[in-house]
Amino acid sequence: MKILNIGSLNIDYTYSVEHFVRAGETLAARTREEHCGGKGLNQSIALARAGAKVYHAGCIGAEGTALVKELRDSGADTSLILRRDIATGHAVIQVDPTGQNCILIFGGANREISNEDIDNCLSAFSAGDILLLQNETSGVAYAIEQAARKGMYVALNPSPISEELLKSSALKHVHWFILNEIEGYELSGEREPERICTVMREKYPGSTIVLTLGGDGCMLLDDSGFYRHGAYSVSVVDTTGAGDTFAGYFLGCTAAGMPVEETLAYASMAAAIAVGRPGAAASIPLAAEVRRALAGVND
């Protein structure tokens, strides 16, 4: 089983700030750092560090070379990444003293992936393989439909949620929804976690709903019922990429055949380690670190 991630590749400009900039305010940042990011890239790196074989497809401009190197160094296959004469996607990220962030993205090359590009990527994959998507690239609904037609399993992290995605009939082909409460509310109209999962399953029968709940852990609903896992407590440095770390580890462990409870423990611990470090991709732990940390809490 191969995993293809058609996902965003961003240069993250991260500013540490006293508080998030308010309307009309000019604020001096304390520090500025440049990191590799993009929900797509982060999730591929998490998959690779979890031990999965992942093929990353996406699109960059000339300044995106470091993103490809970061993916390759982490063990992801980068042969499907397109290079075009357009600006690489980027994100402007403010991180406050509590480690919370707010993110502004510029899609750039991420939004220049055509249906033909998607067909080309998918041609190397077949029934039983997995397609992972977020919502920072163009052609998400088309990719879901074409992958489903081939008999691939689709995992969707519907982030950032958009009107276009909410209205898409392609969502009925999604096998795993990996989402947070905000996305869950937009898709289900419900705010209470169990209701989000239940209504999502009613809307998309047969799917598995994986709901992340920040400091309250996570919840999963599939054919066999509800599973829950608490969050591991850590001192928070930067939450950027924590959800991506969870998503990549969840999918990697699931694809490897790990039981649900263990998978949720791995994904939760990987995300907890990531929030204790600065940056997005750079903060994602290796599987050995996650194993050691889990052994520590289980002692």
Burial of 75 (0-12, 13-18, 19+ CB in 10 A): middle
In the bound state with ligand RIB, the residue whose beta carbon lies nearer, of 4 and 281, is: 281
In the bound state with ligand RIB, the residue whose beta carbon lies nearer, of 138 and 146, is: 138
Place of tokens 């899609």: 107
- How far is residue 84's CA from residue 269's CA, in Å, rounded to a whole number? 37
Burial of 238 (0-12, 13-18, 19+ CB in 10 A): buried
CB of 7 to ligand RIB, least distance (A): 9
CB of 38 to ligand RIB, least distance (A): 5
The backbone region for 38, taken as left when phi is positive above 0, alpha when psi lies in -120 to 50, beta otherwise, is left
CB of 11 to ligand RIB, least distance (A): 8
In the bound state with ligand RIB, the residue whose beta carbon lies nearer, of 58 and 193, is: 58
At 103 the three-state DSSP class reads strand
- How far is residue 241's CA from residue 168's CA, in Å, rounded to a whole number? 26
CB of 241 to ligand RIB, least distance (A): 5
- How far is residue 232's CA from residue 294's CA, in Å, rounded to a whole number? 10
In the bound state with ligand RIB, the residue whose beta carbon lies nearer, of 112 and 145, is: 112
**Nearby residues of 152 by Cβ (< 8 Å), 6 or more positions away:** 4, 122, 125, 126, 127, 128, 129, 130, 131
In the bound state with ligand RIB, the residue whose beta carbon lies nearer, of 103 and 256, is: 103
- How far is residue 187's CA from residue 203's CA, in Å, rounded to a whole number? 9
Please give the order of strands across the beta sheet that includes 89-95. Answer: 31-37, 10-16, 89-95, 101-106
In the bound state with ligand RIB, the residue whose beta carbon lies nearer, of 38 and 158, is: 38
In the bound state with ligand RIB, the residue whose beta carbon lies nearer, of 146 and 245, is: 245
Burial of 259 (0-12, 13-18, 19+ CB in 10 A): exposed
- Chain position whose Cβ is nearest to ligand RIB: 37
Question: Which residues of the shown chain bind ligand RIB in the complex (CB under 6 A)?
Answer: 8, 10, 12, 37-39, 42, 91, 103, 105, 136, 240-241, 243-244, 280
CB of 95 to ligand RIB, least distance (A): 11
In the bound state with ligand RIB, the residue whose beta carbon lies nearer, of 45 and 258, is: 45
Query: With contact defined as beta carbons under 8 Å apart, do 281 and 239 qualify?
Result: no
